[in-house]
Every structure is written in C-alpha cells, then in structure tokens.
Amino acid sequence: MYGSHGRRPPRAPRARHRAATRRGARAVAAALAGAALLLAGCSSSGDGSGGSGSPKPSPTIEQRPRSEAPYWVNPESNAARQAAAYARDGKSAEAAGMQKIAAQPVAEWIGTEQPRRQTERVTKAAAEADRGALLVLYNVPHRDCGQYSKGGAQDAAAYRKWLDAVVAGIGDRAATVIVEPDALAHVVAEGCTPAAFHDERYRLLAEAVTELKRLPGTTVYLDAGNPDWIRDAGALVEPLNRAGIAEADGFSLNVSNYQTTASNIAYGKRLSPKVGNKPFVIDTSRNGNGPLEGAHADEEAWCNPPGRALGEAPTVKTGHELVDAYLWIKRPGESDGECKGGPAAGRWWPAYALQLARDAKD
C-alpha cells in the first residue's frame, strides 16, 4: 500500500532555523527504532489481554460530526487496531495516545492490487456511515524521482487502466480525491523528473482530473507541493494549468510534510489568484510542531524527523474563505522511508505514531 513519501526540498542551501545537532537527531531516532520493536512485540502477542484477568475494553471509534468533518473514520485502521491492542494489554496511556489518531478521518491511499475492490470497499463503508471517503491517487509513472517511494505505474497505458478501476470503484458515492502528491513539484524541481516525461505527466494528471470530475459526488484537489519546496508560487501556475486545475475543485498543500498551517495558508493565498482563485486544502496530519529545526543541515529533514506532532484535527471549519479543509492526508504513524530508524515507506510504525500523539497540543 502506498501512503508514505517525502517532500523533497530544493537541494540548494538556504537560511533556516538554527541547526539542531545530528547527534541529537540520531539519538532520538535510535530511541524510536528501539521502541518500535518493543511495541510491535507487545501488540502482536497472544490474545492481547496482557496476562491474567479480564481483557480491557477497547476504545470506541465513532464518526466525527458531519458539520465539522464529513469524512469517514475507518474503525479498522492501523491506529484503531493498535489502540485496541494497547487497551487490552492494560496500557492506558499508549491507548489514549493512539486514540488521538484513530478517532480522526485519515486518507486511504489506493494501491495497485485490486484498485477497484479497494476503492469500492472504502467508498461503500463511508456511504454506509453517511460520510464521504477521503482518497489519494499516488501511482503516476516515474514517481518520486527514484527515492524511497519510487515506482508508480509501468507506463501511461497501465496508469489509465488503474485510473479506470479507481473511477469505477468510486461510482456515484461521495469522495474527496487528492491527485498525485509530488507529481507537479517534481516536474518543476530541477534535476528530478526528466524532461522527456513532462508532457506525459501533464496529460495523465489532466485525464485523472477529468475522469474523476465526471463522477457525480467526487471533489478533486490537484497537489501543489508545499511552501518550502517550490518557494515561488508562480512557478507552479503553468504546470497546474496544464494538469487540469481549471476542472479541479482546487489544490492540496503540505502532503506528508511538516510546514506550519500558517505558512501553507499564506502560500495558498498567493497561489490561488494565479489559478482562477481556486480554494485549497492543507495536510495538517503531522505539522503540529512545524518543520525540523536546522533542516538545512539534513537533506532528509522531510523523512521521519524526530520531535514532530499531530496538527489540527481534520475540519472544514477553517475560518479562511479559500481554505476548504484541514485534512489528514498522510497517515500518521506510517513511515516516510528507511531513514532515522524507520521501516520501509508506508509501513506502520507505532512508536513514531505515539511520538506524534504525545507531542500534540491538546
């Protein structure tokens, strides 16, 4: 399953916050890695009852009020299962921390194995709960510039076939779809996606937007990177236009990154007038403490940085006319890649999930 990828800041040096020492970052990473192994062993042992006595009640997963967050909360997510396992083991503090993630609507990233079945399962479950599904498409050819989440469809024909399956899986049910995180920023970023693939990518993204918007209940946001990546918002205007922003409902910012909500709002308000005053959504899943201090000293500051925290809970009540919603697009607790002690990209990492929850501002 896809669901974890890093935002690549420009390689050129730039002024940032005061540098944090690499030694400190490595120490935190080592602690997280050790905790991950310990927690994995605890959560998978036996029946999870934690020894003699009656099993502890599992946390209850309920849907958020539609007026605040009309997106489906998956009662069987990794976080929900982990919270239940901690509760059964009598680990109340860990269960409460994990519940902070489990209780929120988090995006479902559509994989390549049986995409129609996966999409149908999610959208039907959401419809039965009287909510909309939050989905991410992340399968464009030549994805992620050969880094931790490299891959994607083998070619344009394979992508179109996969897209057709996803569209069929959504049908007439309500869904909000984030289209291809990183795809446009990687075109703009120098030295990333080869120029030979640019035209194909624009065509595929535009086709994805068009096909999704033919569905009666689908809202579409085309990804536009984050404020610390393509710092000149104007550089994204032509790519967004070629990729179909005119037909989309808006654009998304900060997917899988840690830039503050305030900086994303400011950036989005600069970009919006340049693309028809389109509104936007912000991924707040892990930006509670903002980006890593001293990020300029770490080329992989986007990858499993220590000391980060959950951000604002998903909501459509943002207080900003152009900001349609704060969303948890990245799934908190899934690794960005094999860095800083993390497992492979997209793998569940309960120790990191707990860190995000513990450091969150209640």
Residue labelled with tokens 């640019």: 198
Provide the token pair at 225: 């990177």
Distance CA 244, CA 222 (A): 8
Q: Let me know: does 137 contact 208? Beta carbons within 8 Å.
A: yes
3-state secondary structure of 76: coil
Catalytic residue among 249, 298, 336, 359: 336
Respond yes or no: is residue 182 known to be catalytic.
yes
Question: String of b and e for 61-95 (b: at least 16 CB within 10 Å)?
Answer: bebbeeeebbbbbbeebbbbbbbbbbbbbebeebb
Distance CA 361, CA 358 (A): 8
Looking at residue 300, its amino acid is E
Catalytic residue among 89, 144, 223, 228: 144
**First-last CA distance in the chain:** 30
Provide the token pair at 267: 């950036």
Q: How far is CA 134 from CA 7, 151, 311, in A?
A: 20, 23, 18
Give the list of residues 6+ apart from residue 137 with CB closer than 8 angstroms, or none. 110, 163, 166, 177, 178, 179, 180, 208
Catalytic residue among 89, 182, 223, 228: 182
Distance CA 176, CA 157 (A): 24
Residue labelled with tokens 């309960």: 350
Distance CA 310, CA 312 (A): 7
Q: Which residues are catalytic?
A: 144, 182, 336
